Amino acid sequence: MKRLLKNSLFLIPTAAFLPLPLISLKCETNKEIKNENQEKSNPNALNKLLSKSIILNNVEYEFSDEFKHNKTTQVSLKFTKDGDTADFLNHKTNKEVVTVRFAGIDTPEKSKRLPNGKRIPTTGVQFKYATLASKHTKNRLEEAKKIWIIPQKTKSFKKDTKYSLTDKYGRIIGIVVILTKENELICLNKELVELGFAKMRYISRVLGDLYYTENTNYYDWIKKAEGTARKENKGFWKENVVQIFPKN
């Protein structure tokens, strides 16, 4: 179960402070210690933590060895497909390989399908920002010390089930969280939006919509990030966005 917490962003370790300004870990101790940016980090501290959950934007997502709705599962990278899709291996079992489509965001496409079914590279600013997004995601995931996936519910295409963790292509719709080499926890979905490498898409608060989400907190978080990116002309927002996300 996720639950709202009073403090917006903090770390609860057993022994050490870490500079994690946006996302935090909750550990087995009940003592809450607010993290300050000026505190020096201990590079090995996380290896000593018995973590029970990750906290994103005031919401706690408990850890699980299996992929479950709003539960956090540690994974290993297998392959980065593009800016918003990658293959991961369940870190616990080392057997279950899943494709994850980053929840609530969309990066530009590097290729497009012709009427005859053949795929060809896109061009211009669309290809430019598709490449930038793909490189950023690839670098972040390959350099990450740890990676976690938080699956989100999506509308099921099975008659006997209303919601599912996977879309019609069998991909988990997930929030992706990484621990960087600098011991900084980052939500990769949100970072791509903040940089202007992705836009908010395939997520809705309209009940019955194909992309409906009950995770209001995450929806608002991504929406705010996109609003800031637009206002500050980050990434592709300084370009003609219609050329980057054409309707056809």
Do residues 219 and 189 make contact, with C-beta atoms less than 8 angstroms apart?
no
Q: How confident is the model at residue 248, as a pLDDT?
A: 56
Give kind and range of the element (H or E) at residue 230.
Answer: helix 216-231
pLDDT at 48 over 80: no
What is d(CA 28, CA 80) in angstroms, rounded to the nearest whole number?
33
In angstroms, the CA 91 to CA 54 distance is 16
The structure tokens 């621990």 sit at: 179
Question: How long is the chain?
Answer: 248
pTM tops 0.85, yes or no: no
Residue partners of 38: CB distance under 8 A and separation at least 6:
none
* pLDDT tens digits along 161-219: 667 888 989 999 999 999 999 888 899 999 999 999 999 999 999 988 889 999 999 99
Query: Phi/psi at 104 (nearest 5 deg)?
Result: 75, 5
**Among 158, 186, 15, 189, CA closest to 85:** 189
Q: What is the DSSP string of 171-228?
A: -EEEEEEEE-TTS-EEEHHHHHHHTTS-EE-S-B-STT-TTB-S-HHHHHHHHHHHHH
The Cα 169–Cα 80 span in angstroms is 17
pLDDT 10s digits, 12-37: 343 444 444 456 555 443 333 333 33
Of 69-78, 90-99, 140-149, 223-232, give the lowest mean pLDDT range.
90-99
What domains lie within the chain, and their CATH numbers?
55-240 (2.40.50.90)
Tally of CA atoms within 13 A in the half-sphere of 248 that contains its CB: 2
Tokens representing 142 are: 């390959």
